[in-house]
Amino acid sequence: MAILEILEFPDTRLRTIAKPVEEVTDAHRKLIDDMFETMYDCPGIGLAATQVNVHEQIIVMDISEDRSEPHVFINPKVTVLDGEPEKMQEGCLSVPGFYEDVERIEHCKIEALDRNGQPYELEARGLLAVCIQHEMDHLNGKLFVDYLSTTKRDRIRKKLEKQHRLAAKHA
């Protein structure tokens, strides 16, 4: 397994819309394993393939404290079931160090393929539902900062660009 490089905002590759996986292969399973290792290393609770510059519809997720509930979603489709939009603070491995309130529905159903290409459904509430919607946005070229005001988004972009320049200078 390997730790993959995570693209950071405002990298334009994060805006690429992911394509469906035609057939789940051993290469996809290796990518999934690497994505889990990368996500756990950060540490994070969700990672979309887009964030590691692979533009296919693959998401890994584990919202448990002890890394005991790994989920794989390939070609996911989300259906909102009910509930009012609720604000929850979100962060993102592609927007490191920033946390902001985002409104999302807290009850949804997801249909996807598992790591072996088998279809399944999952009903999600609370943090799991929010995380699924957050990662689905990545597959559609959208980031949580897109839900913020232009002023907040620009402030975050400028701070991250400065960090990237400083890191490049010291590399």
Tokens 């990545």, residue located: 138
86 flagged as catalytic: no
SS (HEC) of 91-102: EECCEEEEEEEE
> According to the annotation, is 92 in a ligand binding site?
yes
How many angstroms separate the CA atoms of 88 and 63, rounded? 15
How many angstroms separate the CA atoms of 33 and 107, rounded? 28
Beta strands in 27-140 (DSSP E): 46-48, 58-61, 71-80, 85-92, 95-105, 107-113, 119-125
Q: Which of 8, 90, 100, 135 is catalytic?
A: 135
> According to the annotation, is 42 in a ligand binding site?
no
Q: Which residues of 4-36 are buried (b: 16+ CB within 10 A; e: fewer)?
A: bebbbbbeeebebebeebeebeeebeebbebbb
Q: Which of 14, 1, 4 is nearest to 138 (CA)?
A: 14
> According to the annotation, is 134 in a ligand binding site?
yes
CB-CB neighbours of 65 under 10 Å? 7
Report the catalytic residues: 135
- Enumerate the known binding-site residues: 92, 134, 138
Question: Which residues belong to the annotated binding site for Fe cation?
Answer: 92, 134, 138
